Structure 1
Amino acid sequence: MAKPFLSIILPITEKSNRLPLVLLDLDRNLSKAEYSSEILAINLTGDHDVSEVVRKIGETVKNLKIIDSEVGAFGSAIKRGMLLTSGNIRLLALSGRSIPVDQLNTMIPHFKNGADLVVARRNFEGEKRNYRKLARRIAVEKAAGLVMKFFLRDIKDPFSDFLAFTEIAAEKIFTDLKPIKHFINLSILLAAKKNSFNVKEVSVYVS
């Protein structure tokens, strides 16, 4: 396979009947793009059936690969996935939500203007709230409030599930990254700041 323009890293943390739909929708959106791409799924569920489902879909979805990782080893699995891919741009999708290509295209042009990392500030369409997850997320965000106040004041959505990197930024950040449990997003952004990378935030709509 030739070097792709875009690599998408997709951690899978739970078994879901939606997984085939997410992957097929992602492939459908990418097929409309003018650039080449690859998808790397990371199975963190400990369920071999999940890997088999992805491999089966890979028979029809080109450039889809999967690797298995230890349950709970979220940070190290993401680090491994980012360094295994080879795209000029690498998108880390920490959520099962899908971003249409036209939304991806609002992120990519910023790399031509000097951005090293682009954060997608999420606007949700038709979202159904999971209040238990929302409450847990609020608690985590409050705990990280001081970090955001003093180090990430320019980022309105530091817990974004969608982060895109240049190849150079991805390899530098993730080679040295020591991810903090429950704070993987902040770990990444702080590492980018430490390395003086240019971070840009853009608004996208996700469904």
Structure 2
Amino acid sequence: MKVVAFERSLQGTGASRRLRNSGKTPAIVYGASAEPQLIELDHNALFHALKKEAFHSSILDLEIAGKTEPVLLRDVQYHPWKQIILHVDFQRVDPTKKLHTKVPLHFMNQESSKAVKFGGAVLTHVMNEVDVACLPGNLPEFIEVDLSAVEIGKSLHVKDLTLPNGVELSQHLEQENPVFLSVTVPAAVISEEGEAAAPAEGAAPAA
């Protein structure tokens, strides 16, 4: 995805306020052994871009004064109650160095899962994204999770994920291996099944 930005020289609360009043959003780009650079972006274009999942998890092509460099979105500050973006941080990406970032999980075949369709199970998404490490060229936009064969009473851990080539879990996830999805049957469903299996009250016992 391409992001067009413009250089800015003024900083401080007053300058940022004037910038926002003119329909712009102050931002900064840093990293890759280069000096941090103050930039500004069109607020409306940025607001709509932030609604796209890929904008948060993909390498972006940031264009400043006709030059383009790869960056990652690192931080977004929103106004407490207004739909206004106050500030954005981008980090430059070195194609030769591993980066650490969050990648969203896309859960597939949930409704057609046997555990859900025939067992009345509820799939609880404990995590919707995972921290990974990889070279920029290997960064996936998302990681698919096939739920068609999940079993009732089971939990899926991050080490159960099928990661793309060149992508690995961050060190703390590798060590902790937390649950990212659990498969349970609500107590109400269990109760209804038990009542259905029990003989009707007052019915004569089978001979």
Higher relative contact order (CA 8 A, sep 6+): 1
Q: In proportion to residue count, which structure has more helix?
A: 1
The TM-score normalised by the length of structure 2 is 0.27
Q: In proportion to residue count, which structure has more strand?
A: 2
